[in-house]
């Protein structure tokens, strides 16, 4: 029991700093091959060095007779934790570097607050390789021990969402040309968490390569990470970015592909689906609302009893049922809207994100929110204007088919990675904005008998190309 308490305290301390120590193997396998031919050309720095695992292995490639001078001229390491600085000095001594020299180039410093300016004034240009702290702003706001970091998100940093973004924007402002960052993969795939930062940062930097991991890399976090190789542009410019991506999947499966990030879509990976959503938005789209809220039920009390699940009451691996007494109007609204959205993959193929039918999956009429709304709970969907249950079932099949086509084509990259797990695929999160936009490509106003039958047939046949032609034809008739 004592060890468990100690482990918990250690994990909480780690979490409060946003610290995830880097394995030397990551450097040796994925970073060193990219820099090994230019070791003498740069000053290698890590402003969040931990024990130095992202820089010190360079010394293995320097002959012992030249290591001391190389270290003096080419390596500078910093960390905010005294114990890490101490460990870093010990590690340097193992390479034959005297402690008095090590102590000059390894220092205690908070580099989120400011950049050590003198580094830009020394002999060699700076090349920054680091695994910065990452801690999401939402977490920082909710926990007393991390609220000290809120200062970093004020003023010129207002709108950024994570500590790693603060670290990277500091490098941008100090005009560092070459960067290699180990960061959460939401840098590529996140929407609200990363849109502003990507637009600001990628105006100034090209991505030369990205290695993306869908396997667990760090012992103390389930965050999926990537290694980004960045080079500063000669002049700031908003333009399409092309680069080689290497994805390390489960069972060490390696997927290579060319990525194109477009400023029009906030430089977010997987924007092909955004182009589809923009192109096929119908002229008069369905209006979509989410959640059956407690306030609405209280305002519509009556004599009609309906059975619902309570999205805020999950016990014994299921949502608890209850009976609501409501008036005719709300009863009709609930029963006429039969769909819900699952926003988080469960880990099984039957439980992937998408639309489902409430009565089939939960054996109730509706999904009630007795407390706070959470995006990860099952959420009832309400449509205006009203569409029939059969039309909603067709919408469900259409929505889920289109979603799965793009998941396969884009390796689910337009979705946000939920968190690392041992599931048979990488679990993803589907944003409610994405749900609304995909629903709004459904041409509900064209749903005569022939159109319905044709669309049903194409979905059964999994004929995506002819569905596109059908959507295009229905859109052309509207114009």
Cα 255 from Cα 269, distance rounded (Å): 15
pTM: 0.78
User: What residues contact residue 297 under an 8 Å CB cut-off, 6+ apart?
Assistant: 324, 326, 330, 368
User: What residues contact residue 470 under an 8 Å CB cut-off, 6+ apart?
Assistant: 451, 454, 455, 458
Could you give the C-alpha distances from 267 to 27, 135, 210, 246, 258, in angstroms and in order? 27, 22, 14, 18, 14
pLDDT digits (tens, 9 = 90+) for 443-471: 999 889 999 999 999 999 999 999 999 99
On whether the CB atoms of residues 127 and 178 are closer than 8 A, the answer is: yes
Cα 316 from Cα 250, distance rounded (Å): 31
- pLDDT of 389: 97
Residue 182, Cβ density class (10 Å: 0-12 exposed, 13-18 middle, ≥19 buried): buried
In the chain, what are the domain boundaries?
A: 2-268, 287-478
Cα 40 from Cα 378, distance rounded (Å): 56
Cα 313 from Cα 145, distance rounded (Å): 29
On whether the CB atoms of residues 349 and 357 are closer than 8 A, the answer is: no
- The dotted CATH code for 2-268 is 3.40.50.150
Cα 377 from Cα 400, distance rounded (Å): 18
- pLDDT of 6: 42
Query: Which residue numbers in the chain have pLDDT < 50?
Result: 1-11, 13-20, 220
- pLDDT of 414: 86
Instruction: Let me know the angle formed at the C-alpha of 197 by 192 and 203, rounded to the nearest 5 degrees.
Output: 130
- pLDDT of 475: 81
């Amino acid at each position: 029991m004592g060890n468990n308490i100690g482990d918990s305290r250690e994990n909480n301390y780690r979490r409060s700093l946003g610290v995830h120590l880097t394995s030397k193997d990551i450097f040796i396998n994925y970073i060193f091959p990219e820099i090994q031919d230019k070791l003498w050309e740069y000053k290698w720095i890590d402003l969040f060095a931990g024990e130095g695992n992202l820089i010190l292995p360079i010394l293995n490639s320097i002959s012992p007779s030249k290591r001391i001078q190389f270290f003096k001229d080419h390596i500078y390491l910093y960390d905010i934790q005294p114990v890490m600085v101490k460990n870093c000095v010990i590690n340097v001594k193992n390479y034959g570097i005297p402690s008095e020299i090590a102590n000059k180039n390894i220092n205690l410093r908070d580099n989120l607050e400011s950049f050590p300016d003198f580094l830009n004034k020394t002999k060699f240009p700076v090349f920054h390789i680091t695994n910065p702290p990452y801690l999401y702003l939402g977490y920082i706001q909710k926990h007393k021990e991390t609220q000290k970091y809120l200062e970093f998100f004020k003023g010129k940093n207002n709108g950024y969402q994570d500590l790693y973004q603060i670290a990277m924007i500091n490098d941008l402002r100090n005009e560092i040309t070459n960067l290699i960052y180990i960061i959460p993969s939401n840098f590529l795939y996140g929407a609200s968490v990363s849109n502003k930062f990507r637009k600001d940062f990628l105006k100034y930097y090209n991505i030369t390569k990205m290695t993306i991991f869908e396997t667990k890399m760090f012992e103390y976090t389930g965050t999926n990470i990537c290694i980004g190789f960045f080079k500063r542009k000669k002049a700031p410019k908003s333009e399409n970015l092309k680069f080689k991506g290497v994805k390390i999947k489960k069972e060490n499966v390696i997927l290579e592909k060319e990525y194109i990030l477009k400023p029009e879509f906030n430089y977010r990976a997987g924007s092909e689906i955004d182009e589809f959503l923009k192109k096929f938005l119908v002229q008069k789209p369905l209006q979509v609302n989410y959640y059956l809220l407690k306030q609405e039920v209280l305002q519509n009390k009556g004599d009609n009893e309906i059975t619902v699940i309570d999205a805020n009451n999950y016990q014994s691996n299921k949502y608890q049922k209850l009976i609501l007494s409501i008036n005719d109007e709300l009863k009709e609204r609930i029963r006429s809207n039969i769909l819900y959205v699952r926003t988080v993959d469960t880990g099984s193929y039957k439980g992937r994100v998408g639309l489902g039918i409430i009565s089939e999956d939960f054996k109730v009429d509706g999904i009630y929110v007795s407390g706070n709304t959470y995006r990860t709970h099952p959420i009832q969907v309400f449509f205006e204007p009203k569409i029939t249950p059969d039309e909603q079932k067709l919408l469900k099949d259409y929505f889920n088919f289109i979603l799965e086509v793009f998941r396969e084509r884009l390796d689910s990259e337009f979705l946000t990675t939920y968190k690392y797990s041992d599931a048979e695929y990488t679990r993803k999160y589907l944003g409610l904005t994405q749900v609304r936009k995909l629903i709004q490509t459904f041409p509900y106003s064209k749903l005569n008998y022939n159109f319905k039958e044709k669309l049903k047939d194409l979905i059964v046949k999994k004929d995506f190309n002819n569905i596109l032609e059908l959507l295009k034809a229905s859109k052309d008739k509207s114009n």
